A and B are shown apart, each in its own frame.
Chain A
Amino acid sequence: MKIAVIVFPGSNCDRDMAVAVEQIAGVKPIMVWHRETELPKLDLAILPGGFSYGDYLRSGAMAAHSPVMREIKARAASGLPVLGICNGFQILTEAGMLPGALMRNRGLKFIHRPVTTRVESSRSIFTSRYQAGQVVTIPIAHADGNYFAATDVLDRIEGQGQVAFRYCDAAGAVTDDSNPNGSARNIAGIFNETKTVLGYMPHPERVIEPLLGGSDGRALFESLIGALS
């Protein structure tokens, strides 16, 4: 299985992602610098968290136009699975690979804390090892995670089962109190129409062993490895 972690100037969760992938998949991912215009044959591309290009202009906006993204877009269009975490999710929306946008948190501050999100569907290559409705505890660390899309877009992605995760309370109830950043309909993660691209604000790569505060992130990687190998 060949997995690539794309590294932009300012990416800072690239190593964490590589560690998680290697630990769970047993294979070292290749690290691909953003200037690359050609990619080897891949089973999965991951856009890690961080502050690509300092998040200047808008989070993810400049990275979305990096040379490598042209190739990622083309491959994704022909079915390459792509996972974007945090800044990676922002890049995916800026690149038009996922609908909507991630705006400044409603409290206007950067927030780092473990949050509970509810798995909306286990019928995807990213979530098959979770149960639908399962509540997972995974940290967020972002200033721009406030998911926004027009009402008709939200209705459409809900209708097509593209909502992957929602912020919820410990019991799984989707409430305003449990929404850390003001995201529309508490959306924390979404799929593309074919469910081959996932953008997710929390950081599953940081919770892969109990010593680090939990292992709820593992199943996401296990799902992918199960589906792709």
Chain B
Amino acid sequence: MTTATYSAEITPEIVAQHGLKPEEYARCCAIMGRTPNITELGVFSVMWSEHCSYKSSKVHLKTLPTTGPKVICGPGENAGVIDIGDGQAAIFKIESHNHPSFIEPYQGAATGVGGILRDVFTMGARPIANLNALRFGSPDHPKTRHLVAGVVAGIGGYGNCVGVPTVGGETNFHPSYNGNILVNAMTVGLADADKIFYSAAAGPGNPVIYVGAKTGRDGIHGATMASAEFDDESEAKRPTVQVGDPFTEKLLIEACLELMAGDSIVAIQDMGAAGLTSSSVEMAGKGELGLELDLDCVPVRETGMTAYEIMLSESQERMLMILKPGREADAQRIFHKWELDFAVIGKVTETGKLVLKMHGETVAELPVEPLVSQAPQYERPWEPTPAQPEIAASSIPAPANLTETLKTLLGSPDIASKRWIWEQYDATVMGDTILRSGGDAALVRVHGTTKGLALVTDCTPRYCFADPVRGGAQAVVETWRNVTATGATPIAITDNMNFGNPERPRIMGQFVGCIQGIREACLALDYPVVSGNVSLYNETNGQGILPTPVIGGVGLIDDVAKAVGIAAKTEGETLVLIGDTKGHLGATLYLREIAGREDGAPPAIDLAAERRNGDFVRGQILDGAVSACHDLSDGGLLIGLVEMAMAGGLGVAIEALPAGIPAHAAYFGEDQARYLVATKDPEALLAAARAASVPAMRLGRIAGAILTGPGLDAISVEELRRIHTGWLPAYMAAEPA
């Protein structure tokens, strides 16, 4: 390998500040055939950052199934595209904004939403729903309250203003996130299947257009920051966080969609992480062409910006487009109507080089192909996570009082209602929201049709920590069950892999294990991965987060009128438990919140049973045999049952429990592949289950306003609701300790 060459401008210290290892810098020099200048070094630095290059994760991500009969476009573009019939496509992706949100929660979260929205409307889709997945540190940690308040306000502030409903999400608390919160945002959009826009440059001579907001000095090196661990000095990184302007984004959505209705666009790419650098390199790289940009033409917010600053700025709400020749005036008219900047900043070339000019001089000249294809790829050493012991239910002592246990769990941070959060999000703008936060999947009608998209985000990090393979698979199957529980058929997922430092073999082993679990589940369920994002280095002072592979699931139902929610709202109906209950207590919330232990293997995942039970439940919902359905996950059977009762405002008399296991394990065990359904004809449902070889048992009746059951003291659903909804508002209102 060529040795690195340094100059007065490019010293080893400068290289290190750009997050490049000496051997990576040597490769830059080899590609350039000379010492890069500072602008060129900046381009290499962001393109080869973990965030942009996936250098630690790519070899593993490649093993995921990404194709299927309904996949129009898998990973590699701005977002994944699936066929939803009738010539329509759903376009979606999830993306993290973890590091910025910890440093500046409001703007970090807001720009996370803005970025993922752009990924989706760049492809020609009108965004129709936002979701999120949030992880915060321990509620006792002095920063947590401030971070929750800021992140939630930021997500709402952006999504509400652009007028895209935020319909679902999840929020967990755990001390491992004390120094590294996770903010993952997902957007789902709708497009005509034959009007999807891609990013590959084409047509030498075609104009390169910059639209949107002006470029400022904000966010320079955000992608590099997102690719490093935090330490006590992280607060000083605040200037690398961008500031969002959802109003401009709203205008940009409308202007882009208006232009996309015609046929002027050859290629389009949003300027996300690494701004103008990654958008121009990606467009040129995918088209196997060159781009020549005149940086004097880039609309800037302040004078005196250098080429380096313009190329590395992460100012928000900007797009790069390549137009057909002669369409500039038409396009400009649209963008000026929406009061947005519009500038021709360059042209497509056949040189295969990214050439940057400023003040009449060439300030950078980089060969695109090697910049993209020779980005470092690492097969980082990894260690498998040691298997945790299976914990027998009988070895966990029964609690003194099951009702008190229920109340404790119901008011615990992970199970308590997140209403305080989702009431700050507009969930019904656009007028098609059928089901939203507070149940299983959200359901959004496809505008102007009877079809609906079921949408959900899920992950159980404590399972992933205990057993990454099981945990990865569980995250997938939980989304699959949540989609199924509405009556929709799961189609595809997007994944957001949040992990610690991949240079540690133990962490890399978590990543590899989770990927394996995700792969196995996706294959078994015909549920491919169509887009995703990786966020590594979620560590502070060497303390990593729990492995958190968040899965965003998307499903389709032909007639939203047939969908069901979780509310048990019909007096006299019977609750039937679908699936096998073995009373699994290892790595459960019961174990953590009641027994004070976080050990043990997580529940086993039986993918065949998942599929069998889920297909059965979906069939019963679509046949109209079921009026409410809830998948069982965190907290097990009793928590799921109480959630159905609270949502419907009715009581439940539990008549029987799964046999052969202690009551606390039956109530709170977290066995997978299970659902609770409400039906008016339990005999028919049980007979159908028998015929389908699906375990099912009659659990109890929906009646009155009181919960009763074996070993439980009678308690009103109203009191349970008070406990469930009380924790988060009280926590947020309390003074920090």
Q: Could you list which residues of chain A lie within 8 angstroms of chain B, going by C-beta atoms? A: 9-10, 12-13, 15-16, 19-20, 33, 49-51, 53-56, 109-113, 139, 141, 143, 203, 205-206, 211-213
Contacts and interface: CB of A to CB of B under 8 A. Distances in A.
Interface string B162-192: 1100000000000000000000000000000
B435 to A, nearest CB: 10
Interface string B415-431: 00000001111111111
Given A10-B251, A54-B245, A110-B156, A141 B429 contact: yes
Contacts of B430: 15-16
B718 to A, nearest CB: 14
Interface in B391-408: none
Contact of A9 (B245, B247, B434, B445): B247
Interface residues of B, number: 32
Contacts of B422: 112
B246 interface: yes
Nearest to A19: B431
- Report the 6 A-B pairs with minimum CB-CB distance, sorted nearest first: A12-B163, A54-B247, A16-B431, A141-B426, A51-B161, A112-B426
B603 to A, nearest CB: 35
A51 B250 CA distance: 10
A54 B249 CA distance: 10
Contacts, number: 83
B445 to A, nearest CB: 8
Contacts of A53: 247
Contacts of B245: 54
A110 B431 contact: no
Nearest to B433: A212
6 contacts: A54-B245, A54-B250, A55-B161, A110-B157, A110-B425, A139-B428
B231 interface: no
B160 interface: yes
A56 to B, nearest CB: 7
A112 B427 CA distance: 7
Contacts of A113: 423
User: Looking at A20, A110, A203, which has the most chain B CB atoms within 10 Å of its CB?
Assistant: A110
Contacts of B560: 211
B338 interface: yes
Given A9-B339, A53-B247, A206-B428, 7 more contacts: A13-B163, A16-B430, A110-B153, A110-B157, A110-B160, A203-B428, A211-B560
A112 B247 contact: no
Nearest to B443: A211
Interface in B516-574: 560-561
Nearest to A11: B163
Nearest to A143: B160
User: Looking at B245, B426, B427, which has the most chain A CB atoms within 10 Å of its CB?
Assistant: B426
A10 B431 contact: no
Interface in B343-386: none
Nearest to A51: B161
Given A51-B160, A141-B429, A10 B423 contact: no
Contact of A12 (B248, B423, B429): B429
A20 B245 CA distance: 29
A9 B428 contact: no
User: Looking at B160, B246, B433, B560, which has the most chain A CB atoms within 10 Å of its CB?
Assistant: B160
Contact of A110 (B162, B246, B424): B424
A9 B426 contact: no
B424 A112 contact: yes
B246 A9 contact: no
Given A9-B338, A110-B160, A205 B431 contact: yes
Nearest to A54: B247
A225 to B, nearest CB: 19
A12 B428 contact: no
A143 B338 CA distance: 25
Contacts of B339: 9
Contact of A141 (B160, B246, B250): B160
Nearest to B160: A110
B423 A111 contact: yes
A9 B336 CA distance: 12
A15 B163 CA distance: 11
A112 B162 contact: no
Nearest to A7: B254
User: Looking at B423, B425, B429, which has the most chain A CB atoms within 10 Å of its CB?
Assistant: B429
A220 to B, nearest CB: 15
A19 B162 CA distance: 19
Given A16-B431, A20-B431, A9 B251 contact: yes
Nearest to A13: B429
Contact of B250 (A10, A109, A212): A10
Interface string B216-250: 00000000000000000000000000000111101
Given A51-B247, A53-B247, A10 B161 contact: yes
Given A10-B247, A15-B430, A141-B429, A211 B163 contact: no
A53 B433 CA distance: 25
Contact of B247 (A33, A49, A56): A56
A110 B426 contact: yes
B428 A112 contact: yes
Contacts of A203: 428
Given A109-B153, A112-B426, A212 B431 contact: yes
Contacts of B163: 12-13, 50-51
Nearest to A50: B163
Nearest to B247: A54
A140 B482 CA distance: 28
A93 to B, nearest CB: 20
B155 to A, nearest CB: 10
Nearest to A49: B429
B320 to A, nearest CB: 22
Contacts of B162: 12
A214 to B, nearest CB: 11
Nearest to B162: A12
Contacts of A54: 161, 245-248, 250
A20 B429 CA distance: 13
Contacts of B251: 9-10
Nearest to A139: B428
A49 B426 CA distance: 12
B342 to A, nearest CB: 15
A15 B432 CA distance: 11
A111 B424 contact: yes
A213 B161 contact: no
A49 B250 CA distance: 14
Nearest to B338: A9
User: Looking at A19, A109, A139, which has the most chain B CB atoms within 10 Å of its CB?
Assistant: A109
Contacts of B561: 211
Contacts of A211: 434, 445, 560-561
User: Looking at A55, A111, A141, A205, which has the most chain B CB atoms within 10 Å of its CB?
Assistant: A141
Contacts of A12: 161-163, 250, 429
